[in-house]
Amino acid sequence: MNNFFRSVAVALPVLFVLPLTHGFAAAATDAASSRSELVVARLMQENGRPDVACALLADTSADSVDADRLYVLARCNASLQRIDAAIANYRRVIVLTPQAPNPRVELAAILVAVDRREEAAQQYKETLPLLPAGQVSTQMSNLIEQLGKDDPAAFARQASGKPWSIEFFAGIVHDNNINGGPVSNIVPAMVGGFPGNFVLDPGAMPRSSWGATGSMTGSYVVPLNEHWSVLFQGVLLGNGYFDTSDYNNEYMSLSAAFIYRDKEWSASIQPNIGFSRQANRMNETTPGVIARFSRKLTQTLSLTGSAGYIDRTVHLDHYRNAGGVLGSIGLVAQVQPNLQVGGDYNWQREHADDNVYSRRLQGPSVFAAYRINPQWTVVGNYSYSNVKYDEGTSGLFVFPAREDTQKTASLTGLWDISQLAGRNMVVRAQYTRIDNPSNIGYSNYTRNIFSMGVQTQF
């Protein structure tokens, strides 16, 4: 689920360089030379040489009234991670051109990246009235999306201007293996103490289908004081397949997180419960609790961690009921204002009612989110998990203890169509591939899932 929520998590934007058109005053002396220098500096910034751009404009005085020059200087300093200099230049540009939205949006992005949330929230409020109707509403929503959307403390920060949020998504999905069928219909085993094979029924092989997919997420933040708040969240999602209803599935999660936030770190503890259904029957109920923390190491790098407990009830097979502990540790970096990367290492231990289903899971997960421009964002995720079960099965067919290596890769594209359709409309396309090689034949499968649809946020 973390990856799913990370797949919806987007990077902070950097807008294209546009000449500001609100009456900037030019320097009185050597104007022609200064303008030529500025043109070259702008070209250097646009072509990936912010170091050259900043060098060309290095003699700009702190009290300059040339807003074009200060704007390029602010952007090249931001690209070079000179955060204090970038913020100072952006503030000077805003003083000189109070009606220009671009400097305000970019300054807000930097303030979010360095965790100065209250200042960023003020920028949002001052900038929204300056934006054309419907143009950048989704862009502003994306700006407020925090590092690690599944971190309640990060999620709560974005709500300083609005305590509630509701998001809808509806689309189509194609899954080439809705039943998790194996790659081969021949499964080796020990039969009565002798090695042998058995052939799976054709109905157990992979089934492919198109279907409808949708989700709804909601949140509400209740501030208690300067440091403490409570975040209520709910998620409902599901898939319905056109060829068969046997593998239709729904999932619902409810949680309440108690959050503490300070300037340099944050922590939360989150009781939660999840319900999953398949083919109109309740499949699993999983209550649990998870604690998370985040600590700033630098202005653009944060250390994250989590630990928790789950208690799973499998309604159709009580032997699979399991309690477990889990944890993770990782890093999240805002490499550039428009590029965010992160990774963590996850582990989980489950004890089931039948030891054949008890297992250990561990492995790394990485993600990157890149905002190509204000309308386009791409998010990539990759996770690797080694899954080892405690015991093998016994009886007529004897199998060794199962061991899987699950590899999941996902690529998501987000296209902001607010200018065309209004109301925070975003087209979302996602491709996910799951490879699950296993030493047990019927658990060795691959799966390719593609979904596309429209989401909106209120």
The answer to whether the predicted template modeling score (pTM) of the entire model surpasses 0.75 is: no
DSSP H helices in 97-133: 101-113, 117-127
Query: Which residues, 6+ apart, have CB-to-CB distance to 198 below 8 Å?
Result: 186, 187, 189, 191, 397
pLDDT bin (cut points 50, 70, 90) of residue 26 is very low
pLDDT tens digit string along 42-64? 888 877 888 999 998 988 887 88
Widest pairwise Cα distance in the chain: 96
Q: Assign 3-class secondary structure to 27-69.
A: CCCCHHHHHHHHHHHHHHHHCCCHHHHHHHCCCCCCCCCCHHH
- Give the CA angle between residues 426, 431, 435 to the nearest 5°: 155
Contact indicator for 342, 319 with CB cutoff of 8 Å: no
pLDDT surpassing 70 at residue 350: yes
pLDDT tens digit string along 415-456? 988 878 767 789 999 999 999 999 887 788 899 999 999 998
Chain centroid to CA 246: 30
Contact indicator for 210, 172 with CB cutoff of 8 Å: yes
pLDDT tens digit string along 147-182? 334 566 555 555 455 788 888 999 999 999 998 888
Segments making up each domain of the chain, as ranges:
31-151, 163-457
Q: Residues 301-326: what's their mean pLDDT? A: 92
Contact indicator for 101, 114 with CB cutoff of 8 Å: no
Average pLDDT of the chain, as a whole number: 80
pLDDT at residue number 81: 85
CATH 3.40.50.620: does it fit domain 31-151?
no
CATH 2.40.160.60: does it fit domain 163-457?
yes
pLDDT surpassing 80 at residue 242: yes
